[in-house]
Every structure is written in C-alpha cells, then in structure tokens.
Amino acid sequence: MAKIGTTYKGKIRVKHLVEVLRDNVGLKQIESRVKRPLKSVYVAVHYRCHFLKPSEIRQQRSAERPTVLDDLVRTLGAQSDDYQDKMMCCGAGGKRSEIRCNT
C-alpha cells in the first residue's frame, strides 16, 4: 500500500477459516455436532507457506510443527496421514518436491 501512497487504518483482523473453527467455534463444539464421523477417510494436510506466513501476523501456535489442521481432521473422525514432505515448502519459489504418502 505504501507504494501507492496509502495506508490501512482499520482494526479488522483477518482470520483463516481454520482459525475461526478452532478459536471461535471450538473443536469440542464441532466434535459434539458430528453425526457421521469420517472413520474410513485418510487426509493428507499441508500447512506451509500459504497457511503459516507471514508468521508475525498468522501467529499459529507452532510455525515449525503446527497441528491445527490435523486436530480438525481428527475432530471430524478422519485420520490425518503423515507423509515424508508434510512440512516441506510447496516449492512455488523453486523446485517442486515429490509427495509420497506413508500408508
């Protein structure tokens, strides 16, 4: 905004939908409303840059080992799958890494 000679003077804090679900709704509240748990579903979540950056604004509880998406998946009754590159950058700025699931 500085490049075009303006500044933002508002007080609105933009939140990611997952933050709203965790902080405003609450995982226990969500879990209590699940009618059909996703018992046989395996989900491969990916956090990195688009979810965690800029870290001074995003302020996830742990930028190095976040768990909020895994927690939400488990709250819905599904299994959050671990895979080799789960915590790797998406590669938008360079080489793209191959994703291999450990199932």
pLDDT digits (tens, 9 = 90+) for 40-87: 999 998 877 767 766 665 555 666 678 889 999 999 999 999 888 787
Q: From the CA atom positions of the chain, what is the Rg in Å?
A: 17
pTM: 0.67
Residue 98, C-beta contacts closer than 8 angstroms, at least 6 positions apart: 85
Unique residue bearing structure tokens 């995003």? 58
Are the beta carbons of 57 and 98 closer than 8 angstroms? no
